[in-house]
Amino acid sequence: MHDAPSTPHEHTIMNQATINIGTIGHVAHGKSTIVRAISGIHTIRFRSELERNITIKLGYANAKIYKCDVCPRPDCYSAMNSSSPFSISCPNDSCEGTSTLIKHVSFVDCPGHDVLMATMLNGTAIMDAALLLIAANEPCPQPQTQEHLFAVEIMNLEKFIIVQNKIDLVSREQALEQKDQIVAFIKNTKAENSPIVPASGQLNINVCAILDFIVNYFPEPERSKEHDVRMVIIRSFDVNKPGCGIEELRGGVIGGSLIKGELHVDDEIEIRPGIIHRKGNKVECRPFITRVTSLQAEKNLLSTAQPGGLIGVGTLLDPFFCRADKLVGQVMGRKGELPDIFVEILVFYSLFQKISGVDKRTDKRNLITLNEQILVNIGSTTTGSTIIKLENDKVRLSLVKPACCEKGERVSISKKIHGHWRLIGYGVVLEGVTVMPVYGSD
């Protein structure tokens, strides 16, 4: 029985996920249910979410995937929570084999409701691959099925698994008919030729087949530990309970994924843009400078965090600045190594041919106009912006909220159509107007 990791890669995946998988698709198509079927974790955690039984904030869950040395594919694959040991007895009752850890994944569970599109776009910043959930009992595509696929295509995702969920609610003929709709829908997209897995998250049907494709179809992303540390923040928390004593107070916690570099406990870090002050037309950004007090991947404590996987970073920050996701959209790294802070950007942009809520005959060139307010997502930052210059395929935007980003970074563009923000296109940051960060007190 192989009961301990023996290679550096095995040691890494024992403690931390190494790939981020987004779960995307229309509202109530079973994204959170599939994540729970794989990881055992219910990503709907907040009272507002539980009352309405929908995902509102980005959910997250880690899972370890095991392979049995006896069972045939796909039955040889099983999943456990991230605290599980390196090897376990095969969970299939009729098998006496040993299942060994082969992959450790993080799920980024996105809300499917159209009014939460900006939250979903924040999650795309850290995805390496995606499960696209399509409910078998509804026609395909639904509006957010299309919008979510466009959104992850913007971020250059190449690998998808299509999960035809709720297969237990339809007949074989209906399932095959909808499969033809799915094939037609993904034609000429990056999801074309992706595997389509019929499944039921509620009844745990074909979950092992989804795991098979996660292991064998999603490649391990190539990441360098040599680069400057860069972490995209998608959550932030005050972990202190009300009424706790001053001697028990803990600093704020930030959650997200390392894009590159290696982070250690006790590293000095910077978070940009930090606290933002506006004085008339001038913008002042005061980045946070703090120290890493702990690193955690779900319940696993780490001394070093590698790129990939969702982690929580304990800091010495005043918890006030972290509570209720206040730091979402900011970028963390070592002091002095982070990109510039932009207040204005020039974007080379393209608009989609199909836009939800817009007639196909509408001239797309007139969809955005000078001085119009539009929404842009840069990394995990969502900010309003004003179009201050528009020529050919370039648009210059004045940002409501400064963004820490690099030239060449991809952005998504949304416009308010019939009262809802709709994803209409994407672009690349060419240049912009930056502000120098201010350190220390006045």
The span from the CA of 101 to the CA of 67, in Å, is 7
Q: Fold identical between 8-217 and 341-435?
A: no
Question: What's the pLDDT score for residue 53?
Answer: 42
Rounded to a whole number, what is the distance in angstroms from the first to the last CA of the chain? 62
Higher pLDDT, 185 or 358: 185
Q: What is the mean pLDDT of residues 4-27?
A: 85
Question: What's the pLDDT score for residue 184?
Answer: 95
CATH superfamily of the domain spanning 230-334: Translation factors (2.40.30.10)
Higher pLDDT, 136 or 42: 136
Question: What's the pLDDT score for residue 392?
Answer: 87
Whether the pLDDT of residue 387 is over 60: the answer is yes
Question: What's the pLDDT score for residue 272?
Answer: 95
Question: What's the pLDDT score for residue 3?
Answer: 66
CATH superfamily of the domain spanning 8-217: P-loop containing nucleotide triphosphate hydrolases (3.40.50.300)
The span from the CA of 277 to the CA of 343, in Å, is 12
pLDDT digits 0-9 by tens, 337-377 = 999 999 999 999 988 777 766 766 565 567 889 999 999 98
pLDDT digits 0-9 by tens, 300-315 = 899 999 888 889 999 9
Among 123, 104, 115, smallest CA distance to 22 is for 123
CATH superfamily of the domain spanning 341-435: Translation factors (2.40.30.10)
The torsion angles phi and psi of 348, rounded to 5 degrees, stand at -85, 115
Mean pLDDT over each residue of the chain, to the nearest integer: 87
Residue with tokens 């204005």: 344
Question: What's the pLDDT score for residue 54?
Answer: 40
User: Exposed/middle/buried for 414, CB within 10 Å: 0-12, 13-18, 19+?
Assistant: buried
The span from the CA of 249 to the CA of 186, in Å, is 50
Question: What's the pLDDT score for residue 135?
Answer: 95
Question: What's the pLDDT score for residue 155?
Answer: 76
In b/e form, how buried is each residue of 418-430, taking b as 16+ CB within 10 angstroms?
eeebbbbbbbebe
What confidence category does residue 51 fall into, taking pLDDT thresholds of 50, 70 and 90? very low
The span from the CA of 21 to the CA of 256, in Å, is 13
Q: Token pair of 393, please?
A: 């395929």
Which residue ranges make up each domain of the chain?
Answer: 8-217, 230-334, 341-435
What confidence category does residue 48 fall into, taking pLDDT thresholds of 50, 70 and 90? very low
Q: What is the mean pLDDT of residues 324-341?
A: 91
Whether the pLDDT of residue 114 is over 60: the answer is no
Residue 98 near residue 135 (C-beta atoms within 8 A): no
Parallel, antiparallel or unpaired: strands 304-305 and 381-391 = unpaired
Share of the chain above pLDDT 90, in %: 56
Q: What is the mean pLDDT of residues 126-144?
A: 91
User: Which positions ≥6 away from 222 have C-beta within 8 Å?
Assistant: none
Which of 117-131, 264-278, 389-403 has the least mean pLDDT? 117-131
Q: Token pair of 365, please?
A: 């060139």
